[in-house]
Structures are given as structure tokens and as C-alpha cells.
């Protein structure tokens, strides 16, 4: 998930590329079935955020989730859990290649519990902020150390079945695309990612490795990638489009998104006109009007997923989308159901495994109705139905 954004200019690029997607799926298109490999385990997933993130409370590493949560997730119809892990939690800040053994115990206990419940798990490096990635972009020694870190981590978990534990190199690389480091553009990432893959392969030659594109793991950069000539590689993208809709009211991003409220999906100039007229922030007004003009709806998602599917079949690679969702604080509930229905419909249609963001946090599809974590959260059954789970 994106925590920092320089996104407004990017919206224009997304729109242009989306409009350029001329191959549109039809109702006659067959639903793509299972692949008959371990990739099928990544069919329907959910992210357990704020457990082992850089900003998470270390006091809850051992008890934030337990076997009852895993059973609830499994019983709902999910097939895997994605586990975001902050580098500061698992890697020694002063010596990147070293695993923090005290925290590794908690992560391994999580993996044991999740897999015992019949779910697969994705171990994923998920930094908060830009500093760690910037260091990788400019410091050759840091790059070498992070490669060794991944080799050490893969070596630790290589005993798990290849259909149970998956390795995901990095969450949403973006330092180059956002020009956050002088002299570094988005092309820094692909060759370095391949080096990390090589290091993981030294320890775990058969496990699946999830890779992605620079610029926040978006789909239109993904389809520019030249696939690696290696087995058991899965290509991943994230989907939060239209960002104006999915991140409305997101106060951690700031203006204009924190000023946007009650935006409907699908959107059009008519159903957003009152919101735009009443907007108190100029940037929010611009974004609301822009969103309405795009008239982003089911066919928009269909076209994009068709484009990703076409690329995956042409390149003969497996593709998943392990993050999508809606910030639920101010988004109209009916609109969330509309969006999640369209997302699951077209991800499923093209056989693209997915992972919703997230379980019980600010995008959560489960809620603690008593205001305490002492009991299980309650699913939003409407969203489970929209995801074709319930």
C-alpha cells in the first residue's frame, strides 16, 4: 500500500494509458480456470497489515492475530494471507543482512499458525517511508547486504512447502519514478530486483518469488517489464484506481485527498457535481471534477485486466494483484460494494489471483464492533459476497 504520494500528475498518465487499451473483453470471453500449480494458492488473499510493519507496536507481535483469526479467514473462503513485514522489524538496521532473531520467532510462529489453518502465506518486505529504499538505490554495500538478507530469510523458510510459503521481494518500489534521489530513475529497479531473485534462488531454488515493477507496482509499468528467464516467478501489480476514489478521506496522505468525502462509484459528472461545488479545497475540487469526467466504471476495469491478461499470456508468465481496496472511512458503503464487485468480477474473469487490502485496518473488510480486539472482528458480509466469497 502506498504511504507517500506524488500522484496528481500520474493520474493523467493512467487515464491516457487506460484509454489506449483497445482490447475489451466481452461477455463471451471464458473465465480463466486454475493453472494447476502452486500459483492457484494465491487465488483469493487478504493482507494482515499493521502486525509486523515498521510502525507496528512490538508488544503485539506475539498476539495481534491467532488461530481463531486464521480459521475465520479460511472459513470465509480465502486461500492465502499476505504478511507485510517492515525491514526495521526483521533486518538489523545497522547490519542489513542480519535477521533479528527475536522478531523472527514471532514471524515464524505466524507462518506456522497460518499454514496449519490451511492457508498459504506471502512473506513480503514492506517499508514505511522512503529511506530504506533510497539507501538501496544509491548505496552498493546496502544492495549487497539486502541481497544477503533475502538469501538468509529464504534459507530460514525454505523448509516450508513451495505451495505454502511465497517470497515477495519488495512492496511498491518508487524511488526512481518519483525522482526522490538525484540521478536515480525508475530503471534502477528491474536489474537490482533480478539480483535479489538470484540471491533467493541460491537458498531456495524451487520456491515461488513474487516480483513487481517500479512506480508503486502499477499495472502499466508491469506490462513494460521484460520477464526474467527463470522458473517459478510471479508478476504482481497493485490496483487503487481511480486513486481519487479509493483514497478519499485518507488523512495520512494529506491534501487534496483528505478533503474528499462521500465520492460515489461509479462516478460521472452529474453524480459528483454537488460534491465538487461544495468542496472547500481547490485541489479536492479539481480531483472530484476530474474523477467525474473519467466515468470510470466496470468496463474501465475490464479493459485494464484484459490488457494485463494479454501481456501475461503473450509473455507466458503468471500474474497476480495482491493489493486492492477502498479506504472506508468516508466512502459510501454501496459504492464500496460496487467497486469490490467489479474488481473481483474482472480479476476472476481473467484468472488473476488477488489479495484485498485489508483484514481489519483502515481499508478493513472486518470490523471490531465492540471497540476492542479481545473478540474476533465481524465480516462485512456484503463485501464477502462482492468478492464472490460468501
222 within a domain of the structure (yes/no):
yes
Query: Per the structure, how many domains does the chain have?
Result: 2
Q: How far is CA 305 from CA 11, 33, 91, in A?
A: 18, 15, 35
Hey, what's the cell of 362? 483502515
Q: What is the mean pLDDT of residues 248-271?
A: 96
Model pLDDT, residue 5: 43
Residues 115 and 138 in one domain: yes
Domain that holds residue 93: 37-241+297-386
Handedness of CA 198, 203, 205, 210 (dihedral sign): negative
Model pLDDT, residue 372: 86
Domain boundary among 260, 295, 330: 295
Model pLDDT, residue 315: 97
Residues 232 and 143 in one domain: yes
Q: What is the mean pLDDT of residues 71-83?
A: 98
Model pLDDT, residue 390: 65
Nearest to 354 by CA among 314, 310, 388: 388
Residues 269 and 330 in one domain: no
The yes-or-no verdict on residue 21 having pLDDT over 60 is no
Residues 161 and 196 in one domain: yes
209 within a domain of the structure (yes/no):
yes
Cα 315 off chain centre by: 22
The yes-or-no verdict on residue 6 having pLDDT over 70 is no
Q: What is the mean pLDDT of residues 287-294?
A: 98
Q: What is the mean pLDDT of residues 101-114?
A: 98
Per-residue pLDDT tens over the stretch 192-242: 999 999 999 999 999 999 999 999 999 999 999 999 999 999 999 999 999
- pLDDT grade for 33, boundaries at 50, 70 and 90: confident
Q: What is the mean pLDDT of residues 43-60?
A: 97
- pLDDT grade for 31, boundaries at 50, 70 and 90: low
The yes-or-no verdict on residue 155 having pLDDT over 80 is yes
Residues 193 and 102 in one domain: yes
72 within a domain of the structure (yes/no):
yes
Residues 179 and 262 in one domain: no
Residues 226 and 91 in one domain: yes
Model pLDDT, residue 309: 98
Residues 76 and 186 in one domain: yes
2 within a domain of the structure (yes/no):
no
Could you check whether the bond before residue 190 is cis, i.e. omega within 30 degrees of 0?
no
Residues 312 and 276 in one domain: no
Domain of 86, CATH number, reads 3.20.20.80
Model pLDDT, residue 34: 83
Residues 280 and 303 in one domain: no
Q: What is the mean pLDDT of residues 152-181?
A: 97
Residues 274 and 318 in one domain: no
- pLDDT grade for 316, boundaries at 50, 70 and 90: very high
247 within a domain of the structure (yes/no):
no
Model pLDDT, residue 7: 47
Interatomic CA distance for residues 383 and 390, integer angstroms? 9
What letter does residue 57 receive in the DSSP assignment? Answer: -
Q: How many helices (H) and strands (E) does the chain have?
A: 14, 12
Per-residue pLDDT tens over the stretch 338-355: 999 999 999 999 999 999
CB contact set of 91 (below 8 Å; sequence gap of 6+):
97, 98, 99, 100, 146, 149
Phi, psi angles (nearest 5°) of residue 300: -65, -45
Interatomic CA distance for residues 366 and 314, integer angstroms? 38
- pLDDT grade for 51, boundaries at 50, 70 and 90: very high
What letter does residue 97 receive in the DSSP assignment? Answer: E
16 within a domain of the structure (yes/no):
no
Do the strands 80-85 and 366-367 form a parallel or antiparallel pair, or are they unpaired?
unpaired
Nearest to 349 by CA among 2, 97, 85, 32: 32
Cβ-based burial of 289 (10 A; exposed 0-12, middle 13-18, buried ≥19): middle
Q: What is the mean pLDDT of residues 26-31?
A: 49
Residues 196 and 338 in one domain: yes
Hey, what's the cell of 265? 462509484
Spatial contact of 38 and 162, defined as CB atoms under 8 Å apart: yes
229 within a domain of the structure (yes/no):
yes
Hey, what's the cell of 107? 514471524
> First vs last Cα of the chain: how many Å apart?
25
Model pLDDT, residue 2: 60
Model pLDDT, residue 9: 41
Phi, psi angles (nearest 5°) of residue 201: -60, -30
- pLDDT grade for 374, boundaries at 50, 70 and 90: confident
The yes-or-no verdict on residue 111 having pLDDT over 60 is yes
Model pLDDT, residue 23: 39
Question: Inter-axis angle of helices 140-157 and 131-138, to 10 degrees?
Answer: 110
Model pLDDT, residue 139: 97
117 within a domain of the structure (yes/no):
yes
- How high does pLDDT run on average in the chain? 93
The yes-or-no verdict on residue 175 having pLDDT over 90 is yes
Hey, what's the cell of 92? 538489523
Q: How far is CA 315 from CA 21, 45, 223, 262, in A?
A: 18, 24, 10, 40
C-alpha torsion 113→124→365→324, nearest 10? -150
Angle at 23 between CA 19 and CA 28, to 5 degrees: 130
Model pLDDT, residue 32: 74
Amino acid at each position: 500500500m502506498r504511504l507517500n504520494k506524488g500522484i496528481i500528475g500520474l493520474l493523467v498518465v493512467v487515464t491516457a494509458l487506460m484509454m489506449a487499451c483497445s482490447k475489451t473483453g466481452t461477455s463471451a470471453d471464458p473465465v480463466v480456470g486454475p493453472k494447476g500449480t502452486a500459483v492457484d494458492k494465491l487465488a483469493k488473499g487478504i493482507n494482515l497489515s499493521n502486525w509486523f510493519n515498521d510502525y507496528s507496536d512490538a508488544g503485539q507481535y506475539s498476539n495481534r492475530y491467532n488461530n481463531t483469526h486464521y480459521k475465520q479467514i479460511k472459513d470465509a473462503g480465502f486461500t492465502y494471507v499476505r504478511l507485510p513485514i517492515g525491514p526495521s522489524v526483521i533486518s538489523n538496521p545497522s547490519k542489513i543482512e542480519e535477521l533479528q532473531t527475536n522478531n523472527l520467532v514471532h514471524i515464524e510462529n505466524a507462518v506456522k499458525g497460518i499454514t496449519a489453518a490451511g492457508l498459504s502465506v506471502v512473506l513480503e518486505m514492506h517499508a514505511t517511508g522512503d529511506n530504506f529504499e533510497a539507501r538501496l538505490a544509491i548505496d552498493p554495500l546496502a544492495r549487497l547486504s539486502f541481497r544477503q538478507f533475502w538469501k538468509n530469510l529464504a534459507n530460514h523458510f525454505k523448509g516450508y512447502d513451495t505451495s505454502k510459503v511465497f517470497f515477495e521481494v519488495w512492496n511498491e518500489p518508487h524511488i526512481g519514478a518519483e525522482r526522490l534521489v538525484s540521478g536515480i530513475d525508475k530503471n534502477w529497479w528491474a536489474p537490482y530486483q533480478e539480483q535479489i531473485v538470484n540471491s533467493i534462488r541460491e537458498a531456495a531454488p524451487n520456491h515461488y518469488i513474487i516480483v513487481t515493477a517500479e512506480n508503486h507496482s502499477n499495472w502499466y509499468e508491469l506490462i513494460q517489464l521484460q520477464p526474467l528467464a527463470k522458473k517459478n516467478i510471479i508478476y504482481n501489480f497493485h490496483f487503487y484506481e481511480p486513486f481519487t476514489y479509493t483514497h478519499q478521506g485518507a488523512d495520512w496522505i494529506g491534501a487534496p485527498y483528505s478533503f474528499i468525502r462521500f465520492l460515489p462509484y461509479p462516478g460521472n459528472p452529474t453524480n459528483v457535481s454537488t460534491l465538487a461545488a461544495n468542496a472547500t479545497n481547490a485541489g479536492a475540487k479539481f480531483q472530484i471534477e476530474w474523477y467525474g469526467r473519467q466515468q470510470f466504471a466496470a468496463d474501465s476495469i475490464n479493459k485494464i485486466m484484459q490488457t494485463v491478461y494479454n501481456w501475461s499470456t503473450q509473455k507466458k508468465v503468471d500474474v497476480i494483484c495482491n493489493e486492492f481496496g477502498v479506504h472506508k472511512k468516508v466512502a459510501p458503503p454501496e459504492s464500496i460494494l460496487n467497486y469490490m464487485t467489479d474488481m473481483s468480477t474482472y480479476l476472476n474473469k481473467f484468472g488473476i489471483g488477488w489479495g484485498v487490502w485489508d483484514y481489519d485496518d483502515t481499508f478493513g473488510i472486518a470490523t471490531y464492533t465492540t471497540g476492542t480486539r479481545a473478540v474476533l472482528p465481524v465480516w462485512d458480509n456484503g463485501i464477502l459476497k462482492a468478492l464472490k466469497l460468501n
